[in-house]
Amino acid sequence: MNGEIELVSDGDGVAIFGDPREVDLFLSTAGVPSQEIALHQKLGSALNTGSGAAQAGSQIAANSGRWVKLTEDSAKALKLGKAMKGSSDGVSRAIATTSKGKVTKILEFVKPGSVGSMLTNPAMLAGAAGIMAQLAMQQTMDEITDYLAKIDEKVDDVLRAQKDAALAEMIGVGFVIDEAMTVREHTGRVSDVTWSKVQGASQTVATTQAYALRQLDALAEKLEKKKRSVGDVAEVAAEADATVEEWLAVLARCFQLQDGLAVLELDRVLDAEPAELERHRAGVQAARRKRREQIATTTRSLLARMDAAASTANEKALLHPFKAGNVVRSSNEVAADVLVFNERIGIDSTRDAIQAKRWIVAVGEARDKAVEAGGEGVDVVRRFGIKTFEDAKVVGEKLGQEFAERMPQRRSSHDADADNER
């Protein structure tokens, strides 16, 4: 038996509307997690006026709505292909036929009011899109909560230390926003009282975000300035290894709070000016993309500087094997932290771990380059410099001495016992 469902996507997620049985079968067959879209609860007041209010209300009551976060995996599981890429207004809609829980055909793209579309009322589409935006932001907020929980010690060190005024103010604002989200969860709306408590909070959060971004930019600039000296680079890389995750935790919390404010804002607009909801939703999402791009610019710049530092250190591994190895190790640690953070807030980025060059490999490369230069003896010394080879010899002797000093002391004791037996 064939059925019909309506699909609505804003690029961040896809909403599925239709007969509850068809929707449940479709989602269970795809095997993707979903959340309920409480259209009737959210849009009741917005649909109380107009001749189509009663009809719109009955349509909502008769149909089910579920939201799925749109990822590469979920799109593949839902078998949407390129059908839900979004239209010029940022929201794409389609009617699909289903059979045994699977999409058999995308019938057509529809606009509000089209025959067969559940979203016959423009307010319903705007409301659905607004709720979808809220669900996407709340999903990110939950993922950031999980991220912060995994690095709880870092959060304790930075977010709760309150050494900087900007951080202290952000922590206080965070408590207020969290409280407002809790009240909203229990009441289903944002009252005048609740909204009055969070007004002005965005400035504090934005100031803290800018402060954290400056800290990361400063580290990147230090790496650029110190790149000629392996010793200096090693110090800055170690500093980055120790502090980057802390500032990423601050940025994550800022992003989370800004999403929380946006969720509250959309509810407030829906209550006060429902006709403005769609334009406000578009503005909120544009602002969110801009925030994400600002963070991406900083984190990608830091990654590029860390990679450049690791590459430079590897080139000097012959004379500075330990420091070069430390730089590469710090670079990989920082990169891992940044990639996890980027994923949590929706920034696409990839990077392969850099391997530290072993000293013996560096020696071999230096020898090979000398041979390729076409000379032995005097020619080799002339090309690479007497000092370079003398320094390499000293490094080799130091390595041997350090390895010897690190050997277990029990060997000396064993040798002494053997002498006594003689």
What pLDDT score does 397 carry?
A: 46
* Whether the Cβ atoms of residue 29 and residue 100 lie closer than 8 Å to each other: yes
Would you say the C-alpha torsion 370, 375, 378, 379 has a positive or negative sign? Answer: negative
How far is residue 389 CA from its own chain's centroid? 46
What pLDDT score does 385 carry?
A: 46
Query: Is 324 in the same domain as 368?
Result: no
Whether 183 is in a domain gets the answer yes
Per-residue pLDDT of the chain (422 residues; tens, 9 = 90+): 457 788 888 888 888 888 888 888 888 888 888 888 877 666 655 555 444 444 445 555 556 688 898 888 888 887 765 555 444 446 777 777 767 666 666 555 544 444 445 555 666 777 788 888 899 999 999 999 998 888 766 665 665 555 667 788 888 899 999 999 999 999 988 999 999 999 989 999 999 999 999 999 999 998 888 777 778 888 888 898 888 988 999 999 999 999 999 999 999 998 888 889 889 999 999 999 999 999 999 999 999 988 888 877 777 765 556 677 788 888 888 999 999 999 999 888 766 555 544 444 444 444 455 445 554 444 544 444 444 444 444 444 444 444 444 444 444 444 544 454 44
Query: Is 165 in the same domain as 201?
Result: yes
The tokens of 286 are what?
């544009």
For the chain, the domain total comes to 3
Would you say the C-alpha torsion 386, 389, 391, 393 has a positive or negative sign? Answer: negative
Query: Is 42 in the same domain as 157?
Result: no
DSSP 338-366: HHHHHHHTT-----PPPPPPPHHHHHHHH
Whether 133 is in a domain gets the answer no
> What is the spatial distance between Cα 398 and Cα 18, in angstroms, rounded to a whole number?
74
Long-range contacts, stretch 212-215, CB < 8 angstroms, 24+ apart: 212/247, 212/250, 212/251, 212/254, 213/251, 213/294, 213/295, 213/298, 215/243, 215/247
What pLDDT score does 214 carry?
A: 95
* Amino acid present at 69: K
Whether 125 is in a domain gets the answer no
* Whether the Cβ atoms of residue 113 and residue 224 lie closer than 8 Å to each other: no
Q: Name the residue range of residue 110's domain.
A: 2-119
* Whether the Cβ atoms of residue 253 and residue 170 lie closer than 8 Å to each other: yes
The tokens of 337 are what?
């932290």
Element spanning 230, H or E? helix 230-272
Query: Is 213 in the same domain as 171?
Result: yes
> What is the spatial distance between Cα 371 and Cα 35, in angstroms, rounded to a whole number?
66
* Whether the Cβ atoms of residue 189 and residue 263 lie closer than 8 Å to each other: no
Query: Is 172 in the same domain as 266?
Result: yes
> What is the spatial distance between Cα 318 and Cα 16, in angstroms, rounded to a whole number?
61
Find, among 65, 259, 127, the residue nearest to 181 by Cα: 259
94 phi and psi, to 5 degrees? Answer: -150, 150
> What is the spatial distance between Cα 208 and Cα 171, in angstroms, rounded to a whole number?
10
Q: Three-class SS of residue 290?
A: helix
Whether 114 is in a domain gets the answer yes
Query: Taking the chain, what is the end-to-end CA distance rounded to the nearest angstrom?
Result: 95
> What is the spatial distance between Cα 130 and Cα 213, in angstroms, rounded to a whole number?
30
Query: Is 336 in the same domain as 410?
Result: no
Query: Is 75 in the same domain as 177?
Result: no
Q: Three-class SS of residue 20?
A: helix
Query: Is 43 in the same domain as 172?
Result: no
Neighbours of 306 (CB within 10 A): 30
What pLDDT score does 403 carry?
A: 40
What pLDDT score does 319 carry?
A: 53
Q: At what angle do helices 122-150 and 277-315 cross, to 10 degrees?
A: 30
Whether 137 is in a domain gets the answer no
- pTM of this prediction? 0.74
Query: Is 186 in the same domain as 307?
Result: yes
Would you say the C-alpha torsion 7, 8, 13, 17 has a positive or negative sign? Answer: negative
